Amino acid sequence: MKCPEKEDLQHECTAAWNTYEAAVKELGLSASGSGAIWPPIAGYTTAPHPQKALKALGRAIDPETGRLKAPYLSLIALRWEHLKASAALSTHLATHRC
């Protein structure tokens, strides 16, 4: 049996992930399947050593304010949207078992 609500939630979740993933790539970052991001560091195809990752992360911080730069804040907001969409889908599946 098809469930239109489930299909809508799946599309929303996929669209949110695709938007997040595109924003990650636009900033020149990498994302894992879990959504974790890290800066590109030569020689690393997976998460780099924490010290090197922190050094590279410094590029995302505005030295005048000590806060994340706007594009990175937007990235966090997009990730939050994906997490909300994923949670809504998960709740639906647990409730309706469709």
Domain residues of the chain, as ranges?
A: 68-98
| Burial per residue of 36-70, b for 16 or more beta-carbon CB atoms within 10 angstroms, e otherwise | ebbbeeeeeeeebeeebeeebeeebeeeeeeeeee
Express each pLDDT in 17-50 by its tens digit: 999 989 988 887 776 666 666 555 445 455 556 6
pTM: 0.73
Under 8 Å between Cβ of 61 and 68 = yes
What is the rounded distance in angstroms from the CA atom of residue 9 to the CA atom of residue 32? 22
The whole-angstrom separation of Cα 43 and Cα 55 is 15
